[in-house]
Amino acid sequence: MKITTAGSLGNVAEPLVKKLIAAGHEVTVITSNQNKKSAIEELGAKAAVGSIADAQFLTEAFASADAVYAMMPPTMGTTNMIENIAHAGQAYADAIKNTGVKRLVFLSSVGADAGAGNGPIKGAHRVEQILQQLPGVNVTILRSGFFYVNFLRDIPMLKSRNIFGNNYNGTDKLALTHPEDLSNAIAEELQKEGKGFEVKYMVSDISTGNEIAALFGQAIGKPELTWTVLPDEQLKQGMMAGGMTAELADLITELGLGVRTGIIMKDFFESSAKVSGKIKLEQFAAEFKRRYELA
């Protein structure tokens, strides 16, 4: 098969590309970074350098593809982020129509069923709605949980202030996903024909802030570590002090509120979705320890 993948060589995309090449497929990798071209080619793939918001570029990248993997970066631009993501989603749809691609796998997120109250995930919701309108295309929406690796961002605050937490409660349940499990699921879906428009979940584990703090605390030699619930405004100001734009800080604060109010996890539980990933949080704790010790 000829498969075009987005995501450059990120946490999910790189292992995905390696799996597809090992399976004998001809892979084209979309990247916005010219400097990634040689690394992509060293894997045995072809690099397509351009923007996912450019429908003409995507049309060229999708030409003759049997299947496409599409994703969105966490943010696009410094302002109007949700609109920018929706614009890129429409560019994907236009390119698929232009080329006649019949198989699409789109990486989405838990909480993307909701049109509001879910922070940056509103962008994924908008894209899901756009892709659902594609005629004659087998579209699989693969909703991921929060990445385990996102907790590595908390290490500086944990080191400097001994604080580990967010603006949702320690008892709120979180769907969590390891990138390796996700890349396996995407590779599997891309090699299937698909059945019209489908929504599936790829979740490796379910845990709470309290449980995560206890697990990581034990791993790093801080068994007393507990989950700290940060007030919304404190979280927002802290992110902005670290250089984040006010718009993105607002969206991420809203995301935490969505966890707190149950918006993010609502469909996962109501649809009786299953935890299908193999890599559990306990296994990731060793990586968290290693990165903590190196920081």
Q: What is the mean pLDDT of the chain?
A: 96
What pLDDT score was predicted for residue 69?
98
Tokens of 275: 């935890």
What pLDDT score was predicted for residue 268?
97
Contact, 21 vs 45, CB < 8 A? Answer: yes
- At 255-288, the pLDDT tens digits run 999 999 999 999 999 999 999 999 999 999 999 9
Tokens of 13: 């995309």
Contact, 5 vs 69, CB < 8 A? Answer: yes
Specify the higher pLDDT residue, 75 or 279: 279
Tokens of 85: 């993501």
What pLDDT score was predicted for residue 118?
97
What pLDDT score was predicted for residue 78?
84
Sorted by where each starts, the structural domains of the chain and their CATH numbers stand as 2-146+178-202 (3.40.50.720)
pTM for the whole structure: 0.96
What pLDDT score was predicted for residue 77?
85
Q: Is the pLDDT of residue 76 over 90?
A: no
- At 20-54, the pLDDT tens digits run 999 999 999 999 999 999 999 999 999 999 999 99
Say what percent of the chain tops pLDDT 90. 98
Tokens of 251: 């969206």
Q: What is the average pLDDT across 59-75?
A: 94
Residue 205's φ and ψ, nearest 5 degrees, are -165, 160
CA distance 157 to 278: 29
DSSP state of 106: E
Tokens 């429908």, located at residue: 55
CA distance 272 to 280: 20
Tokens 């034990």, located at residue: 218
- At 91-127, the pLDDT tens digits run 999 999 999 999 999 999 999 999 999 999 999 999 9
Q: What is the average pLDDT across 119-143?
A: 97
- At 171-192, the pLDDT tens digits run 999 999 999 999 999 999 999 9
What pLDDT score was predicted for residue 198?
97
Q: What is the average pLDDT across 66-93?
A: 94
